[in-house]
Structures are given as structure tokens and as C-alpha cells.
């Protein structure tokens, strides 16, 4: 297959970039490793800060697609030459393109790395990803199938944690915890909810409104504390021991369920396929250098990155970056086409003086 641009990843960023490039007249193909397009939108129930349906947003994005998206594709190799890129998948199919856009997204932190939190040990300790699945199924129950009365949400699991090699902030855990707490309260009005946090980082627009709403209207309790360990009672309730950093003393809390708000981790599934890609990995493991790059500086570059593969982002931030990068790809492709036409013209002129 010959295209102007191959996009790796059919999440929000890949879909947005593909739609824009196609509308600008370019031939586009998206390669996706999962069975269906959509990325993390497929596992999310509602999106912060306005509680929009993740499935509804995805369906809107897919409705604008009229170019090929190939799913269940595992890329075996990527090579590069003066004409662009050659990709081969596990089936031996080849994809040639003038430009390559990486939009591979992120992966959730593996909470089993924090053994002291009890994930994978105690049945009633789950992750925020698993809670989203419960939301989609409209069923919030503990391991015994009972509706919980007390739930604790633990912030910053796998973020700002030097012990697990993730010193960066995932940026979206705090607002995700607030969003999920509100959703829980709406589904189970009598539920008592406790959010244990190191400090709240709510930098997005309307995030503070959500925080205020969670306290004033939903009575969510926020505890500034650092969790030290979890234990299980005979009835499978979970005992949390933590340091109350405001009071400066140890404290204890018992909950029917514990939700670990896991951070965003780099997805390295395409590393070691092309040295030029590997060289773009920053000190935090994400692609890019985090600097403001002027489009003019990269007009000769045919390798691009967009979305949360360049760092933790919300859906809006991912699609905004994808739009900006799509226009940079467009500029490169137009310059490439102009150069090609000029070369052809010069060749004819030389042959026929």
C-alpha cells in the first residue's frame, strides 16, 4: 500500500490527525494493534470535566472516517530511505509512505508494582481502569457481589514515585479521581467516598469547578495523606494505614473497596524498530523533548509524534496536539510534492534545452 502518511495508532490523536490530513487531500492509512479503533476511549465511561459519553465521542470521530484503518496489526519492521518509510506487519503486508506519524498513546501503570497497596493480593483492591469497566456495565459491587458502603480512592499510584521509576506527574489522575467519585455518588447516593491524595493538581479548565462540586453537592471527603500499607480483614474489607500529612499523625481507614488511580506510562511497543524513533525518547520515557518546536524548524522532518505518546494528556489536549501536528505533516508533504515537481521540471529542461 502506498500512502502520503501512515499513522500508527487509532486512538483520539491518530483519528483526529487522520481526519484532518484526509480532508487536506492526502492519502492516509492508520495501523492499529487492537481489534477495534478508539484507543483508551473504548475503556472509558465518561470524560472529564463535563461527563461526556466516551462512546458518544468515539462514534462521532469514527463517523468522519472514510480512509483505511487496519486493526489487529503488529508492526514487525520499519525502514527509512530518501523516499520515506517502509513498514511491514506480522502478515507480511507492506505500507509505504512519505511521512510517518506516531500516535501510540500510553499504557496504564501496572499497580502490581506497588505491593503495599494490595492490588492483585486483595480482591477488593481494584484500579481506576477496572472501575471504568464497572461504570460501563452499570454495576458497582465488591468481590462478594454486594454494593459497597465505603470506597477509598488513592491518588498518584505510579506517578511522582521514584521507587517505581515514574517521577513525573500523570496530570490527569486527580481529575479522574474526582470524576469517578462523583460518578460513584450518582450511582450509589448513600455511599461514603474518601479521596486520599498527596496534593491536588487541577490545572485544566473547569477542573476546579468539578472539585468544588464534588465537595459541596456530593459530599466527597478529601484526606491529604500518604498511604503506607493495606491489609485485609476477615470479612474482606480493606484497612488502610496512612499518614495524615495535615495533622502530622498516623491514621487508619476501613473501606469495602479501594480504587487505585493509576498513572499514565509510556507505550514502548514500537521501540527498537527504527533507530530514529528510539532517539526521540525523552528522559521520562515519552517521545519528544517537550520543547516548543516552530513548524518552520521541522519542515524537512518526515517523522512526527502526537497525543499522549508525547506525555500525559487529556483527550482534548491529545486531539489539539494532533491537529497541530497534522498541519505540520501537511506542510511537509506539500513541500515534498513541490520539490518533486521541480526536480521533474529541471530534468526535462536539462534533457531538452
261: nearest Cα among 152, 116, 138: 152
Pick from 69-78, 142-151, 207-216, 296-305: least confident: 296-305
Q: Are 222 and 213 in contact (CB under 8 A)?
A: no
Q: What does the DSSP assignment read for 305-328?
A: E-GGGGS---HHHHHHHHHHHHHH
Whose CA is closest to 196, among 143, 255, 147?
255
What is the C-alpha end-to-end distance of the chain, expressed in Å?
37
CA distance 140 to 152: 14
Domains of the chain and any CATH numbers: 2-105+267-351 (3.50.50.60), 111-264 (3.50.50.60)
In 157-206, alpha helices (H): 173-187
pLDDT surpassing 60 at residue 29: yes
Query: Above 90 in pLDDT, residue 9?
Result: yes
**Confidence check: pLDDT of 349 > 50:** no
Distance separating alpha carbons of residues 270 and 144, to the nearest angstrom: 40
- The pTM score is 0.91
Q: Report the alpha-carbon distance of residue 277 to residue 101 in Å, rounded.
A: 11
**301 falls in which pLDDT band (50, 70, 90)?**
confident
CA gap 221, 257 in Å, rounded: 15
Amino acid at each position: 500500500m502506498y500512502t502520503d502518511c501512515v499513522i500508527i495508532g487509532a486512538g483520539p490523536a491518530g483519528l483526529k490527525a487522520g481526519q484532518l490530513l484526509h480532508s487536506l487531500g492526502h492519502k492516509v492509512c492508520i495501523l492499529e494493534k487492537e481489534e477495534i479503533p478508539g484507543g483508551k476511549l473504548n475503556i472509558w465511561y465518561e470524560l472529564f470535566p463535563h461527563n461526556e459519553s466516551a462512546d458518544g465521542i468515539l462514534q462521532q470521530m469514527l463517523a468522519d472516517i472514510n480512509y483505511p484503518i487496519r486493526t489487529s496489526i503488529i508492526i514487525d519492521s520499519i525502514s527509512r530511505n530518501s523516499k520515506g518509510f517502509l513498514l511491514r506487519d506480522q502478515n507480511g503486508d507492506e505500507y509505504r509512505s512519505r511521512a510517518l506519524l506516531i500516535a501510540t498513546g500510553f499504557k496504564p501503570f501496572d499497580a502490581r508494582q506497588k505491593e503495599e497497596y494490595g492490588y492483585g493480593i486483595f480482591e477488593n483492591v481494584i484500579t481506576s481502569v477496572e472501575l471504568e469497566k464497572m461504570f460501563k456495565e452499570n454495576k458497582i459491587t465488591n468481590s462478594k457481589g454486594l454494593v459497597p458502603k465505603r470506597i477509598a480512592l488513592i491518588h498518584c499510584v505510579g506517578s511522582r514515585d521514584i521507587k517505581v521509576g515514574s517521577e513525573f506527574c500523570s496530570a490527569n489522575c486527580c481529575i479522574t479521581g474526582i470524576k469517578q467519585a462523583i460518578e460513584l455518588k450518582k450511582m450509589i447516593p448513600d455511599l461514603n467516598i474518601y479521596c486520599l491524595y498527596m496534593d491536588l493538581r487541577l490545572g485544566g479548565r473547569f477542573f476546579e469547578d468539578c472539585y468544588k462540586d464534588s465537595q459541596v453537592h456530593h459530599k466527597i471527603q478529601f484526606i491529604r495523606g500518604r498511604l503506607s500499607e493495606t491489609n485485609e480483614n476477615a470479612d474482606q474489607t480493606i484497612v488502610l494505614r496512612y499518614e495524615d500529612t495535615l495533622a502530622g499523625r498516623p491514621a487508619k481507614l476501613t473501606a469495602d473497596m479501594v480504587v487505585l488511580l493509576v498513572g499514565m506510562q509510556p507505550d514502548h511497543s514500537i521501540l527498537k524498530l527504527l533507530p530514529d524513533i528510539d532517539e526521540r525518547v525523552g528522559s521520562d520515557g515519552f517521545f519528544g523533548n517537550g520543547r516548543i518546536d516552530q513548524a518552520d524548524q521541522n519542515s524537512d522532518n518526515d517523522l512526527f509524534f502526537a497525543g499522549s505518546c508525547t506525555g500525559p494528556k487529556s483527550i482534548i489536549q491529545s486531539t489539539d496536539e494532533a491537529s497541530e501536528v497534522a498541519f505540520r505533516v501537511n506542510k511537509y508533504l506539500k513541500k515534498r510534492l513541490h520539490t518533486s515537481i521541480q526536480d521533474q521540471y529541471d530534468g526535462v529542461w536539462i534533457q531538452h534545452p
